[in-house]
Amino acid sequence: MSNVDQQSMHGFSACLALIRRDLILAFRSPGQTINPMAFLLMVATLFPLGIAPDREVLSELSAGIIWIGALLAVLLSLDSLFKNDQDDGALDQLLMSPHPLPLLVLAKVFSHWLTSGFCLTLMAPLLAIMLHLPSDAFSPLMITLLLGTPVLSLAGAIGAALTVRVQRGGVLLTLLSLPLYLPVLIFATGAVNASIQNLPYTGHILWLSVFLILGICLAPLAIAGALRVINE
Amino acid sequence: MNWTFFHKLGSPKWFYDISGKWLPWLQVISLVLIVVALVWGLAFSPSDYLQGNSYRIIFIHVPASFLAQSVYLMMATAAAVTLIWKIKLADMALKVMAPIGVSFCILSLVTGAIWGQPTWGTWWVWDARLTSMLILLFLYIGIIALRGAIHTTEAAAKACAILSLVGVVNIPIIKFSVDWWNTLHQGATLKLTEKPSMAPEMLWPLLLAIVGFYLFFMMVMVLRLRIEIISRERKTRWVKELVS
């Protein structure tokens, strides 16, 4: 096996180890995973109380409510993405490792998505029933959440990396991340609403996939750059 | 090609000296241009056959919107220079440009709202252009807030540079998706700048106003940049000599 191959193999197994570690940590303090889900559930409860419990009104709003709730829940969970590692020194280990930092960062973001966006996606059908989303729109909702929430994790991780040294950076993180989240929100809710009106929504889904591919290619570079800059 | 001018331009002291010579010219020319353009546009241009006199706000609104967008591009350029060549002056420019961009953004939104009230009958519509300008404002505020939150100058400089570059990649995506979202919901009924081949009596003052606003921006930026240079280089000998 050539030297380059060995290096990339090591990088891959380092990623696996990193994901495994993050998942174990998540299992041992389940609050990190459960809190965003509880948050989403509560946000979804507030809307019928605050607006109207009507079936018609809610079924029109439900896609937007679920998506905005999921977006805010991901934002909440991002604050601790690098901060815990920064506090216990694991982040310094990550920065000093011989493997390419963007790859490791991608692994971290992936495990973050597994414990946040993915769990929120699993919860979405329940909320869809509660908010009277028309049943035809269930599958586009799930597809958009599956494609869109990883983009939220990727884009938000840039902000999380930039604010890792900032005390109480939560609000700042929101300010930095929300403009990046807009395209995802627009296309995701657009797809669900189009399907409710029996319009084709393949275009929206394809654009969400484009965002995901762009995010996977570019965001790790920005995140790695930000982490290096902040910890210099 | 001889690139020494580039490095000279990066030296705060050299820039401070040379910009002192530019400053009076910038002030005079921008003032003259803006006054001429506004007097011409507000008093002597013919009124619009549809909108009457209310269209005249474009002589402020359009230049402000132009600048709100191009200041961000300039910031992104400064950000790239900061990250690639590590030129301190570029970061100072990045820092002083952000609040100016915010002011132009707000000016553009406010003048747009004032124009929208008599023309569309409402202060605000969720039109694609209005929305993307609002989001641009958020991007500016994010950069300013990030710089305020990081205390070491070096780290703040690079963090803001990265954020500006991320933002500039996102601006076309945001613009495109907002356009898509708007056309999906209400059709292209409202377009702010669908210029039906503007009459030259209106176009000339507008062009003058745009050039004047650009020079005004340069002037304000140079002023702020000089203050920033002085405050950051306060421990160097030349600044101490300058102040004493």
Picking from A191, A189, A224, the residue whose alpha carbon sits closest to that of residue A205 is A191
pLDDT of residue A4: 59
CB contact under 8 A, A162 and B163: yes
pLDDT of residue A166: 86
Q: Note down the domain range covering A47.
A: 3-230
pLDDT of residue B194: 56
* Most B CBs within 10 Å, among A162, A187, A195, to test the B interface: A162
Taking the CA of residue B164 and the nearest CA in chain A, the distance in Å comes to: 11
pLDDT of residue B186: 44
CB contact under 8 A, A179 and B145: no
Per-residue pLDDT of chain B (244 residues; tens, 9 = 90+): 566 666 666 788 888 988 889 999 999 999 999 999 999 988 888 877 777 787 888 889 989 998 999 999 999 999 999 999 888 899 999 999 999 999 999 999 999 889 888 888 888 888 878 888 899 999 999 999 999 998 888 889 999 999 999 999 888 888 888 887 775 544 434 444 555 456 777 788 888 999 999 999 999 999 999 999 999 988 888 888 888 7
3-state secondary structure B155-174: HHHHHHHHHHHHHHHHHHHH
Orientation angle between helical segments B88-120 and B153-186, nearest 10 degrees: 30
Taking the CA of residue B135 and the nearest CA in chain A, the distance in Å comes to: 6
Taking only the tens place, the pLDDT of each residue in A33-57 is 899 999 999 999 999 999 888 888 8
Distance CA B78, CA B86 (A): 10
Largest CA distance in chain B: 64
Which of B149, B159, B167 minimises the CB distance to A226? B159
The pTM assigned to this predicted structure is 0.88
Taking the CA of residue A73 and the nearest CA in chain B, the distance in Å comes to: 20
Within an 8 Å CB–CB cutoff, is residue B166 touching chain A? yes
Helical (H) or strand (E) element with B1: none
- The single-letter DSSP state of residue B235 is T
pLDDT of residue B165: 94
pLDDT (mean) for A91-111: 93
Which tokens in the block code for residue A162?
A: 């930039």
Domain ranges of chain B: 58-243
User: What are residue A7's phi and psi, to 5 degrees?
Assistant: -60, -45
The number of folded domains in chain A is 1
pLDDT of residue B85: 86
Dihedral Cα A181, B84, B149, A225, nearest 10 deg: 60
pLDDT of residue B128: 79
Q: What is the CA radius of gyration of chain A?
A: 19
* Residues within 8 A of A (CB atoms), B 123-142 only: 135, 138-139, 141-142
CB contact under 8 A, B149 and A169: yes
pLDDT of residue B103: 96
Distance CA A98, CA A105 (A): 13
